[in-house]
Amino acid sequence: MERTIYREIMATRPVWGLAVTLGAFIAAAMASFFYVEHYGHIVTGMNNQVVWGLPHVFAIFLIVAASGALNVASIVSVFDQTVYKPMARFSALLAMSLLIGGLAVLVLDLGRPDRIIVAMTKYNFSSIFAWNIFFYTGFLAIVAAYLFVQMSPGFPYSRVRVAGTLAFVWRLALTTGTGSIFGWLVARPGYDSAIMAPMFIAMSFAFGTAVFILVLSALFRLAGRPFGDQMMLRLGRKLAIFVAAVMYFEGVRHLTNLYAAEHVGFETFILTGGGTLTTLFWLGQVVIGGVIPLMVLFHPSFGKTAKAPLVASVLVIAGGFAQLYVIVIGGQAYPMEMFPGYEVTSGFFDGEIASYRPRWPEVLLGLGGVAIALFITGLGAKILRILPTNLSDANVGLNR
């Protein structure tokens, strides 16, 4: 094994082209923001029943994936898997970038983004939203410090392990807080479940690993640097474990809801009678995001090639968006039971299934958050010594 050398990526023509493309998406998101700011949320598909729309799906995906993108760094510092050490710096950078992209979408979608100052200065500690502000800012600070000690040769490895362990614990707390946003909303039968917190942790592992594989592979291809097949297959095997864990927790959640009489109506709605939501659940989440990736990764021939983790990662990300769409939108579309045991009728859509169709400003806001995350990642790789020059199997000690 040779000594790992880190170098910035060169500003080649493809790199500039990618930067311009991402900049165009960011500009489109800003234009969408000013459009919604001027005309109000009436120009989106959101309404009084569905107040968290497609931008929240993008934001939650990026926030959850940010925690999971730190997997590789945690494996090195906490579990002593030194074979992944050359990728630890990039893991920390990608985690921070994804979180910033997700938070940017949330701020742009507030309608009154200046109100974020109120949320940051006046806290209601009985609200999980207030706690999450500390989780998010704390995550950025801790991971930034973790990256700093990794890149500073003067710090002993024991300091790196301490920072890595703290980042690992904090990321679990962050994802638990994000899942608890839904799990503690007892008024919504689609959210009220304690298993939401561990399921979101499993989702973060799967989504973050998938994003990590794709972004790292793309940067190595742009930089013309070798990436070993065995290393890619190792990442693919970890992705398979995380995908199976997500399917397990999702299965337990739905079986538990079917057992509880108060949730049977929601389960019937999502599993059989939800129209687009039902299709997204079975086809998008279960088949595309779960079954097919596992078949790809465990295929006797194709599963042993370096392309299998890349294909599986794309499918997992698509299935992840479908899963979060079903959770976020489906949980709001199904009506709340205002007075158990009674039928409520009014002019405010009580007891009715809410309709929601995302519109182009929401799509642009969400894609803008993704572009912000990728742009920060690329900028970090350009100005900092984050990426190793060689991740071939021979260089990292993974010879056949």
- Domain edges within the chain: 13-396
Does the structure show a pLDDT above 90 at 242?
yes
| 302 SS3 class | helix
Burial class (CB in 10 A: 0-12, 13-18, 19+), 186: exposed
Does the structure show a pLDDT above 90 at 192?
no
Residue 2's pLDDT band (cuts 50, 70, 90): low
Cα 157 from Cα 6, distance rounded (Å) = 18
Question: How far apart, in Å, do the first and last CA atoms of the chain sit?
Answer: 14
Burial class (CB in 10 A: 0-12, 13-18, 19+), 238: buried
| Tokens (6 digits) for 45 | 């598909």
Burial class (CB in 10 A: 0-12, 13-18, 19+), 356: buried
- Please write the tens of the pLDDT for every residue from 287-344: 999 999 999 999 999 999 999 999 999 999 999 999 999 999 999 988 877 666 667 6
Q: Which amino acid appears at position 303 of this protein?
A: G
Distant-in-sequence, close-in-space partners of 210: CB < 8 Å, separation ≥ 6: 65, 239, 312, 313, 314, 316, 317, 320
Cα 335 from Cα 96, distance rounded (Å) = 36
Q: Which amino acid appears at position 263 of this protein?
A: H
Contact 379, 215 (CB under 8 A): no
Does the structure show a pLDDT above 90 at 210?
yes
- Please write the tens of the pLDDT for every residue from 365-381: 999 999 999 999 999 99
Question: Does domain 13-396 match CATH 3.30.70.890?
Answer: no
